[in-house]
């Protein structure tokens, strides 16, 4: 009977242990397709959408007479200014880019239960951008 009790307790502990699969999910998998928006002012918004194969960068701006909307997809490691992934951890993505002889890194950190993204650039010490998770881009 003791052996049966120990077996039952062992099964209970194993089945109730934490599932580490979510805590080990890489940034690009965890936040694939999530829309992050930075509102610069009343006339301008920037957004990022990370995907496993690249990132879409967008901008909405209003010059007072007309609203403009631009976005561009950049695949990882391709294009005239390739972006290469250095670190793809749970809530951290570090990317490096070289463009016209200038190399810099961008560190993206997710906080606030997955609702806030902060971007810090190696070539602009002390400067950061804060993006908020949204359900849609500011314009289509």
**Global pTM?**
0.80
Instruction: Note the pLDDT of residue 40.
Output: 84
| Residue 103 DSSP SS3 | strand
CA distance 49 to 56: 5
Could you tell me the CATH number of the domain that includes residue 59?
2.40.128
Helix (H, G, I), strand (E, B) or coil at 35: strand
Is residue 52 in a domain? Answer: yes
Which of 68, 102, 135 lies closest to 58 in space, CA to CA? 68
Tally of domains in the chain: 1
pLDDT value, residue 22:
54
Domain range for 88 is 25-134
* Residue 103 belongs to some domain of the structure: yes
Residue 15 lies in a domain: no
Is 37 among the domain residues? yes
Neighbouring C-beta atoms of residue 119, cutoff 10 Å: 19
User: Is residue 17 a part of any domain in this protein?
Assistant: no
Q: How many helices (H) and strands (E) does the chain have?
A: 2, 9
Does 63 map to a domain? Answer: yes
Alpha carbon distance 37, 134 (integer Å): 7
Residue 139 domain-assigned? no
Tokens standing for 51? 């995907």
Instruction: Identify which has the larger pLDDT, 15 or 114.
Output: 114
The per-residue pLDDT for range 74-131, each reduced to its tens digit, is 999 998 889 999 999 999 999 999 989 999 999 999 999 999 999 999 999 899 999 9
Structure tokens at 42: 């009343």
pLDDT tens digit sequence for 18-58 = 444 456 899 999 999 999 999 888 889 999 999 999 999 99
Residue 8 is assigned to a structural domain of this protein: no
């Amino acid at each position: 009977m003791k052996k049966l009790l120990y077996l039952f307790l062992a099964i209970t502990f194993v089945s109730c242990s934490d599932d580490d699969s979510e805590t080990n999910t890489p940034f690009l998998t965890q936040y694939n397709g999530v829309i992050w928006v930075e509102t610069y002012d009343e006339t301008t918004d920037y957004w990022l959408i990370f995907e496993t194969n690249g990132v879409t960068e967008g901008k909405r701006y209003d010059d007072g007479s007309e609203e403009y909307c631009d976005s561009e997809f950049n695949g990882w490691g391709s294009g005239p200014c390739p972006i290469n992934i250095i670190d793809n951890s749970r809530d951290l993505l570090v990317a490096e880019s070289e463009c016209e002889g200038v190399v810099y890194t961008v560190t993206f950190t997710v906080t606030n239960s997955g609702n806030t993204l902060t971007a810090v650039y190696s070539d602009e010490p002390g400067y950061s951008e804060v993006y908020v998770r949204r359900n849609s881009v500011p314009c289509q």
